[in-house]
Amino acid sequence: MQGLPHDYIATATATAESPVTASIEGQPDLTLAPPSGFGGPGDLHSPEDLQVAAVAGCFLLSFKAIAQASRFDWDSLEVHVTGTLAQVERAVQFTAFTTHARLELPAGGSRDKAEKLLEKAERGCFITNSLKGESALEIELVGGE
């Protein structure tokens, strides 16, 4: 890892009639619109979708790095995140993120170590650590001992 701080830059553009185009240098553009709950079409990514996807992706990438550093063998990991958007006083904000991690282990894999590494991944996720909303982890282990 390069020294901190790191800067990440995104640009969003739109006309009065168009969806939003989000651009990040060197990557494909994303087309964004409000979610259906806010009157959007429901068939394009929304900033809310990207927030929840960022939590899921960060958790999985954190686990991969921790498992590799720990020389921990695993078969697959599926991460499902639910973000709850609610009214808090006069502001709408994410109030909670629940991460359900379904980890498949090879025969003989340590379930205790798997649980510890999944918990460590949640604590180490940069995105989750940057959020106001409460965070909860649900672990489902398949296989192993």
Are 56 and 81 within 8 A, CB to CB?
A: yes
Q: What is the distance between the alpha carbons of residues 144 and 112, in angstroms, rounded to a whole number?
A: 10
pLDDT of res. 19: 93
Q: pLDDT tens for the chain, 145 residues: list them.
A: 789 999 999 999 999 999 999 999 999 999 999 999 999 999 999 999 999 999 999 999 999 999 999 999 999 999 999 999 999 999 999 999 999 999 999 999 999 999 999 999 999 999 999 998 889 999 999 998 8
- CA 129-87-12 angle, to 5 degrees, is 65
Q: Which amino acid is at 32?
A: L
Instruction: Give the residue among 65, 58, 47, 133 at the shortest CA–CA distance from 101.
Output: 58
**Residue type for position 86:** A
Structure tokens, 29: 């553009």
Which domains does the chain possess? Answer: 47-143 (3.30.300.20)
Determine the pLDDT at residue 1: 72
User: Is the peptide bond between 34 and the residue preceding it cis, with omega within 30 degrees of 0?
Assistant: no
pLDDT of residue 133: 84
Q: 3-class SS at 123? A: helix
**What whole-number distance in Å separates Cα of residue 40 and Cα of residue 46?**
9
